[in-house]
Structure 1
Amino acid sequence: MTLEIEDLLFTLLGGINLQQLDRLRVTLKINRTDTGNPLHSIRHSIDLYQSDYLEKLINKASEQLETSTTSLRKAMAELIEQVEHYRLSKMESKKEQKPKFRELSPERGRRAIKYLSDPKLMERTNEDVGKTGVVGERNNRLLMYLVFTSRLREQPLHIVSLGASGTGKTYLQEKVAELIPENDKLEITVLSENAFYYFGQTELKHKLVLIEDLDGAKEVLYPIRELQTKRWITKTIPIKDSKGNLKTITLRVEGPICLAGTTTRERLYEDNANRSLLIYLDSTPEHKELIMEYQRMLSAGKINRSKEQELKEFFKDMQSVLKPIKVRNPYAEFLKLPEYIFKPLRTNSHYLAFIETVTFYHQYQREVKTDPRTGEQYIETTLEDIEWTNKLLKDILLAKSDELPKALRDFFESLKRWVKRENKVSFYAKEVQEYLRMYPMKVSRYMRELELRSFIRKAGGNKKSGFEYEIHRWDDYEKLQSGTEVLDEILKKLRSQKKE
């Protein structure tokens, strides 16, 4: 932004902060236009609302530019007014860019409700999500879609996608998010910690907040965690009134929000493990081939993009006809998680909340009941909702009950399969490295972690020639897998009791 006032040219370097309205911090370059002397130029960073510093700048610039303080003071006053006007216009234009509330015609509304009334709603939804361009990831795509739908409820779920670079974490999140109305989501690539406090009080309420890369969003993790847990954040800031006196105001931003993010680091997730569901992306060669085949078909013009877009708009219509309604689960007291689940209190909450979300998605198939005591209207969970939840969350619950991180677990299971197939009693790290084609440093780190956790142990060798190892714990994973079947057994028991 440049502004010429009489014989002075003001250039704003680096832009203007549109969020911190209590200050007007800029980096200025001031030149005289009537002399052509390169020495008649000055650069300075300043908060234009700080009168003491502004006066010092005027005196310094007057000396450097060899012009009167009176003309500079007058030019500065005009500059501040112009910059304030510019900032206000930018803020207004941003407000105008906000997506409008989605309006449906009666016919589109009826079509959406008819779809949501289909007895095979879950199967049909999963198939149609795939038809919008979400290739593979059958379990994860439906799970993520339902988590995104939970934003409409009082206690939304949150989801984190974990995978190595190039496994399609961001792709899956972006594609499923395309099924959510624009006015119901906020996509973030770069955001400062303070920025969250300058949203409107209800601007984030029941919104889907999408963070492309959690690895690079450390600064915003604290307000995000607060919005997830407490469902509101506050910040007290000082501002000057019209007389120049300092006073404090409290900024409050309300949730709840539904958070979705991606990461390559499992450790980053562990710090937030009690708040979000974690899904692991399919990194198999078969899945990569499916994606590449879709890309080839797309390039060849054999994918009907208009049909995909039409289906995406229809999903947005369905999201728009879902209404807030309470859900009650008459089977909740019987649904007890295995005792060894990691952080059972929060996991139990996630499990029950996901069941309620499945019920919520079926709201047009459920009888609306009224509590005679409170007058509250609600719909009830069915055994089919629990069955779908068990199916979709099985891998997540398994990961939560495993003491090994996913990458280390995959390494250990591959190691066990190789040892069994080769009929080995013991093995060396170098053999493992050659078999799995992994970097030596990574193999050494994994072997060290497994030894510390007593999954393997030294059986011989020495530091010079290399240690010999053997498997110490063979069946721990099988026990964990059988433990997750407890929920299916409970469901089976509930079904038999219902028949009686």
Structure 2
Amino acid sequence: MPDLTLDSSADDPKLLAQIVAYYHQTLKESPDALAYLRKRGITNPAVIDHFRVGYSDRTLGLKLPIKARTAGAVIRERLHRLGLYRESGHEHFHGSVIFPVAAADGTGRIVDIYGRKTRTDLRAGTPLDTHLNNDKLGVWNVEAFAGAAEVVLCSSLFDALTFWNHGCRNATTMFGTNALTDDLLAAFKEFNVRRVLTTDEKVVEKLLVAGLEVFLVRLPLDTDVNAYARQTKDPADALGSLLRGAEWAGKGKPTSAPVVACTAAPEAQNESLSELLGDDPDEEDESEPGEGTDHETNPPVLVIEEQAPIRTASPVPPAPQADEATVSENQVVLTFGTRKYRVRGLEKNATPDVLKANVLATNGVGMFIDTFDLYSAKHRTGFQAQAAAEMNVEEATVKADIGRVLLKLEELQDARLRRNEPTTPVPSQMTAADQNDALALLRDPHLLDRIVNDFAVVGDRTNKLVGYLAAVSRKLDQPLAVLIQSTSAAGKTTLMEAVLNFCPPEDVVKYSAMTGQSLYYIGDGGLRHKILAIVEEEGAAKASYALKLLQSEGELRIASTGKEGNTGRLTTQEYHVAGPTMLFLTTTGITTDEELLNRCLVLTVQEDREQTRAIHDLQRKRQTLDGLLAANSHQSTLTLHRNAQRLLKPLLVVNPFAERLTFPTTRTRTRRDHQKYLTLIRTITLLHQHQRPVRTVEHNGKAVEFIEATVEDIAAANALASVVLGRCLDDLPPQTRNLLGLLDAFVTEQCRVQSVERADFRFSRRQVREATAWGDTQLKLHLKRLVELEFVGVHRDRQTNRHAYELLFACNDAGHVLPELLNVAELRRAEVGCEPSRSGSEPNQAVVGRGLVGPMSGLCRAEEIDATTVSIGNTGQTNRIESES
């Protein structure tokens, strides 16, 4: 709230000026009032200070002495007499943007105030426009009449203000239609105004009678100047066209010579109409034959040329251009004569409504430096006064300089903010050759092999395929989600980056972390059929609930409170984020949110010595010449895959074998895992869409295109699901399961060497650490999990007080078999005419097979399923997908 200092001994004009100054400061601290001006198209910051625009927010009474005291009663009585207070004790202009109106004689004395309500939710009958008194005294912007041969006369103040805002400085208003006042006519005569361009046809005759040359500005039907300017892309040019197209309405005969000669220098914007029309401004108006020239004795005579042609008014000059400046990386220098202004720190401003900078003013005589916000009139005034004193120049000179500096800095800052605006990646245009290469890739019968071979990472064959297919699933209505879970430095982020590099940049949204509410404000189309990748799941822990909903529901909706722009009242606002979205996360934790885990395909990175050795070999190879060349050529491979994915259409996928598929039903979570399995099949089919015929069916009068899944698609999905979804059948995290497999191998080998039974073999954590080369912290964490799940038992030696472990698990679970999946061989036999209940390749005949009961039972058959052989593609190409430990 600004300070208010009232001089109780001041006369009425000075008291009125003090109140206007208070309202002026109030406006600068009122975001709602400033927003109203911007809404009306008033964007030039110089308008507020030049016209001392203010705002009445009903705080004036709080600054006055209390009414019970004599001083308070006296000052309120004076304000009531001036019209600022009503009989009810309320401010006359409360809730209004106010504009002081000066006397017609150009002295600057305030004789009236115009107010305009900023809100629209007023009681019925409340006037939007108010004046200090009903006489509408004074002339707004009368100072612009000095040296102006012509004036633009508008019906409303905001119309005139719109002209001024866009460069036409010699504009004024009548405050109403057909409301030409005596003060306006007196000001025209006082300042020797010869021509008037008006938007009000009703006052044309009065202006002609007053001896003025009149041009009528035609506006589109049912609109005003302010609305017309806000509807156009270039308001200055549009308003200039209006004035240049003004119709000449006539030229009256002046009744007397000008009272006072103009001594002010004309502004550059107010170019004379006579110079552009070819008239001599100093030439006396000629009287028609038979009429006297004694203007003092003869009454006003209206002189209108008969059948006068339509003339065009002078062009309106453009808005003032910012000065030239020397712009470097960290400073801007502007020079005006001997005065130089150096500006630094402009790049720190992040919003367009702040223009804070460090300004150094110098002229060889003195210097002054300060850091302030150039949009603050109070700060500018202080800088101008001190800089003028230090440089020994007039304060008005520095004020003009700072105005020019402000315009230039505003231009530079707007340009910088536009450059820094986030841009949505635009799909690159494919050439015909690029499109042919991409189609050739999609039509390759060994497509899945091509995808694996094109990865620039070693090992993790299944992870590569699953990651790539999950990324492609973003084009479906129910995409997959992937969570890569491993220890630190294992390569999970490298795998995620490798998958994302194959995807078009415009389809990837990647963050390092997300706050709890950030997802809800991304925008309605910001994530639709895109990949949302988060580098570390811990960075999105607060957004876990939103991520789960986005994956399950395919959209997000949130209701939040917000303020209405016009009224400021709190209302409920709804935000919507449209999906579906493919989620891609990584994590190092083993205690990840279970609800998020069962929505994702959980991948684990190989952490054995062989994988580490292969990674080291690749890292060393990349430092050779061949490695550098290979990295360069890999960019073209990435471009090929991105173009191929751009060519994939979101076609419907029909699975003709869907009713015959099977899936485990032992656990409730398989309800979601089954949907992942079906989506995996759809994704493989979608990826091969350029190798499948596109079929069409008519439904509800519309043609629906679709492609069908094949046996090969189901075989490939079964192989991947056995590895990825097979891990979901127990509560073991991937790395804990890996440790269990290593323990089983270690115990089996030690029992063989020591010739002891498994139940009698005990081992320590140190022995496991030496055998597996795992770190102590990692080993403690996963071994504790195995103990809790009773895969490993703990024994305590009472003599040494040490713990020994016993492996209670009797089978290596590294095979990750997903039981109960449909045997693809049955589907193949059905396609060639065999009965599904029989085995063998001969029609209606079964071959001799294995007996129902074997001679000996074994502990496990994991050794028989260490790899799965499937047929992929239309050509029966065999692809071996290795199981991961």
- Aligned counterpart in structure 1 of residue 601 of structure 2, from 261, 267, 277: 277
Shift of 1:329: 1.0
- Aligned counterpart in structure 2 of residue 378 of structure 1, from 689, 706, 710: 706
Shift of 1:105: 2.8
Preserved CA contact (<8 Å) 1:102 1:320: no
Equivalence map 1:378-457=2 (5 Å): 378-423=706-751, 425-438=761-774, 442-457=778-793
Equivalence map 1:292-307=2 (5 Å): 292-303=616-627, 304-305=629-630, 306-307=632-633
- SS of aligned partner of 2:499: helix
Preserved CA contact (<8 Å) 2:468 2:499: yes
Preserved CA contact (<8 Å) 1:13 1:28: no
Q: What is the match of residue 798 of structure 2?
A: 462
Normalization by structure 1: what TM-score?
A: 0.79
Preserved CA contact (<8 Å) 1:158 1:258: yes
Preserved CA contact (<8 Å) 1:117 1:362: yes
- Aligned counterpart in structure 2 of residue 109 of structure 1, from 392, 414, 435: 435
- SS of aligned partner of 2:619: helix
Q: Check 1:466–1:342 CA distance in 2 against 1; reply closer, same or farther (3 A cut).
A: farther
- SS of aligned partner of 2:421: helix
Equivalence map 1:472-483=2 (5 Å): 472-475=808-811, 477=813, 481-482=816-817
Q: How far apart, CA to CA, are the structure 2 residues paired with 1:86 and 1:233?
A: 36
Q: What is the match of residue 134 of structure 1?
A: 457
Shift of 1:323: 0.9
- Aligned counterpart in structure 2 of residue 122 of structure 1, from 448, 451, 461: 448
Preserved CA contact (<8 Å) 1:214 1:263: yes
Q: How far apart, CA to CA, are the structure 1 residues paired with 2:527 and 2:331?
A: 35
Q: Check 1:449–1:109 CA distance in 2 against 1; reply closer, same or farther (3 A cut).
A: closer
Q: What is the match of residue 71 of structure 1?
A: none
Q: How far apart, CA to CA, are the structure 2 residues paired with 1:295 and 1:439?
A: 23
Q: Check 1:84–1:472 CA distance in 2 against 1; reply closer, same or farther (3 A cut).
A: farther
Q: What is the match of residue 313 of structure 1?
A: 639
Query: Structure 2: any 5+ residue segments left out of the alignment?
Result: 1-329, 334-339, 388-401, 752-759, 835-885
- SS of aligned partner of 1:486: coil
Q: Check 1:201–1:372 CA distance in 2 against 1; reply closer, same or farther (3 A cut).
A: closer
Between 426-435 and 133-142, the greater mean CA deviation after superposition: 426-435
Shift of 1:119: 2.3
- Aligned counterpart in structure 2 of residue 153 of structure 1, from 476, 490, 496: 476
Q: How far apart, CA to CA, are the structure 1 residues paired with 2:410 and 2:521?
A: 20
- SS of aligned partner of 1:241: coil
- Aligned counterpart in structure 2 of residue 496 of structure 1, from 807, 813, 829: 829
Equivalence map 1:16-95=2 (5 Å): 16=350, 86=413, 90=417, 93-95=420-422
Q: How far apart, CA to CA, are the structure 2 residues paired with 1:263 and 1:395?
A: 19
AA in 1 matched with 2:682: E
Q: Check 1:463–1:253 CA distance in 2 against 1; reply closer, same or farther (3 A cut).
A: farther
Preserved CA contact (<8 Å) 2:346 2:413: no
Per-residue CA distance 1:137-169 (angstroms, 9 max, x = gap): 222112211111111121111112122222221
- SS of aligned partner of 2:574: strand
Bigger relative contact order, structure 1 or 2 (CA pairs below 8 A, ≥6 apart): 1
Between 449-458 and 414-423, the greater mean CA deviation after superposition: 449-458
Equivalence map 1:214-233=2 (5 Å): 214-233=537-556
Per-residue CA distance 1:332-370 (angstroms, 9 max, x = gap): 222222234571011001010010000001111212223
Q: Check 1:193–1:456 CA distance in 2 against 1; reply closer, same or farther (3 A cut).
A: closer
Q: How far apart, CA to CA, are the structure 1 residues paired with 2:421 and 2:428?
A: 19
Query: For this pair of structures, how many residues does the alignment match?
Result: 472
AA in 2 matched with 1:486: E
- SS of aligned partner of 1:216: helix
Q: How far apart, CA to CA, are the structure 1 residues paired with 2:510 and 2:761?
A: 52
Query: Structure 1: any 5+ residue segments left out of the alignment?
Result: 49-53, 68-74
Shift of 1:392: 2.1
Between 370-379 and 350-359, the greater mean CA deviation after superposition: 370-379
AA in 1 matched with 2:612: K
- SS of aligned partner of 1:378: strand
Q: Check 1:3–1:138 CA distance in 2 against 1; reply closer, same or farther (3 A cut).
A: same
Per-residue CA distance 1:374-406 (angstroms, 9 max, x = gap): 542211111100111122232211211122222
AA in 1 matched with 2:597: A
Q: How far apart, CA to CA, are the structure 1 residues paired with 2:420 and 2:355?
A: 23
Q: Check 1:474–1:162 CA distance in 2 against 1; reply closer, same or farther (3 A cut).
A: same
Q: Check 1:280–1:102 CA distance in 2 against 1; reply closer, same or farther (3 A cut).
A: same
State yes or no: 1:261 paired with 2:597: no
Q: Check 1:346–1:90 CA distance in 2 against 1; reply closer, same or farther (3 A cut).
A: farther
State yes or no: 1:178 paired with 2:504: no
AA in 2 matched with 1:173: M
AA in 1 matched with 2:497: E
- SS of aligned partner of 2:625: coil
AA in 2 matched with 1:146: L
Q: How far apart, CA to CA, are the structure 1 residues paired with 2:496 and 2:782?
A: 29
Per-residue CA distance 1:294-322 (angstroms, 9 max, x = gap): 33333222133442222211111111111
Q: What is the match of residue 425 of structure 2?
A: 99
Between 446-455 and 394-403, the greater mean CA deviation after superposition: 446-455
Q: How far apart, CA to CA, are the structure 2 residues paired with 1:338 and 1:463?
A: 48
Shift of 1:459: 4.9
AA in 2 matched with 1:277: L
Q: How far apart, CA to CA, are the structure 2 residues paired with 1:254 and 1:274?
A: 22
Shift of 1:173: 1.5
Q: Check 1:460–1:307 CA distance in 2 against 1; reply closer, same or farther (3 A cut).
A: closer
Q: Check 1:107–1:341 CA distance in 2 against 1; reply closer, same or farther (3 A cut).
A: farther
AA in 2 matched with 1:90: L
Per-residue CA distance 1:422-442 (angstroms, 9 max, x = gap): 116233444434444555555
Q: What is the match of residue 70 of structure 1?
A: none
Q: How far apart, CA to CA, are the structure 2 residues paired with 1:366 and 1:434?
A: 53
- Aligned counterpart in structure 2 of residue 234 of structure 1, from 553, 557, 564: 557
Preserved CA contact (<8 Å) 2:664 2:819: no
Q: What is the match of residue 84 of structure 2?
A: none
Q: What is the match of residue 653 of structure 2?
A: 327
Shift of 1:409: 1.9
Pair member with larger Rg? 2
Preserved CA contact (<8 Å) 1:102 1:183: no
- SS of aligned partner of 1:249: strand
Preserved CA contact (<8 Å) 1:14 1:27: no
State yes or no: 1:287 paired with 2:611: yes
Q: How far apart, CA to CA, are the structure 2 residues paired with 1:413 and 1:135?
A: 22
- SS of aligned partner of 1:268: coil
Preserved CA contact (<8 Å) 2:331 2:342: no
- SS of aligned partner of 1:324: coil
Shift of 1:30: 8.9
Q: How far apart, CA to CA, are the structure 1 residues paired with 2:488 and 2:411?
A: 43
Q: What is the match of residue 72 of structure 1?
A: none
